[in-house]
A and B are shown apart, each in its own frame.
Chain A
Amino acid sequence: MKRNEYDVAVIGAGAAGLAAAAVTAKAGASTVVIDRDVRPGGVLNQCIHNGFGLHYFKEELTGPEYAARMIRKATEAGAIFRIGSSVMEISPAQADGRRALTLYSKESGVEIILAKAVILAMGCRERTRGNLATPGSRCAGIYTAGLAQRMLNVEGKLPGTSAVIVGSGDIGLIMARRLTWSGIPVKAAVEIQPKPAGLARNIAQCLEDFGIPLYLSTAVTKISGKDRVESVTIAPLDDPTAERVIECDTILYSVGLIPENELSRKAGVVLDPKTNGPVVEEGVYETTEKGIFACGNVLHVHGLADQASEEAERCAESALRSIGMR
């Protein structure tokens, strides 16, 4: 097994991880950024729509463009990338305070990376139909919005021929426009809350632009279909008898995100039941495990990628202080 030693190991090469790595590497800390995907950028690479970077770069960029700028920043600062590599485990602190990360990749098998500070930047997962326990058939054609986004924007696969969006998170709204622009009519977006979850601009440019109805205070009461989705039944909360059946073969769930903390939990990091992210000291970003920091969507869900990047920079400064490099 190879042994690699760094000052800082960043787990996740998305909006947060890249920004953190750029800061620590620029300060002279030897920095490795680890990501399981085949290219750095995280979810930004599948977010081909514009709207990124207005705060951070003072320019409106698409997700891949935002990612490319952050990758350049981290690369120019001297960060080392380990892509196609998954972190399986973070060890307890050794006598010298360092942590051992167990890394797995197709190319090199199992490796150990030693780091003085670890920055968690793994982002989120999407909540699914299972989280909502929507009644009805368990047929094909039910996706999370982000999965459908990856299919369409990265793999170029059409997820179906007509769709209903459940929930009104930004990814779902963006996908309503993306599906429409791909020739897949979107029949409706259905939100159980009285107010939409996503940004007002996305309601305007992704639903209203195409005349897609948004049903608020409305629940999905049933999914029907034998092998494939055939229809979805919805009903307003204040009158459950006023059911409406919408025919479609595809359902996208856009019902929130959950910070992805399996790795953190295994490392003994205590999680906040409210945010599902690590408990951290305000402004310090250090978790309950010494030398392990957290930023971006793995800490709590951010509205904008720019905010995740900005938080990551503050977190990186804090990590640098902890190893005496600030």
Chain B
Amino acid sequence: MSDKKCISCGMPIRLENEAAGNTTDKPYCQHCSNADGTMKSYDSVLEGMTQFMIRSQGIDKAVAKSMAAEMMATLPAWTMHK
């Protein structure tokens, strides 16, 4: 199993349909990709991860946003935002 992780959200990229543009060539996943194949902005990814945590665990929005920002700060695409 591949150890490749999305540089933007940390999600494992193990299958082509999990990668941007359905190709594992790109270092980011489908969720962090715009329709044209480019990588989403920091704010867009942060909002997506926040909503994911709310949907999956019902976490308070401000807490979820803070935790999403903490997680993103450890990822290669967003280290400059810490």
**Chain B associates with chain A:** no
Q: Which residues of B contact A (CB under 8 A)?
A: none
Q: Which residues of A contact B (CB under 8 A)?
A: none
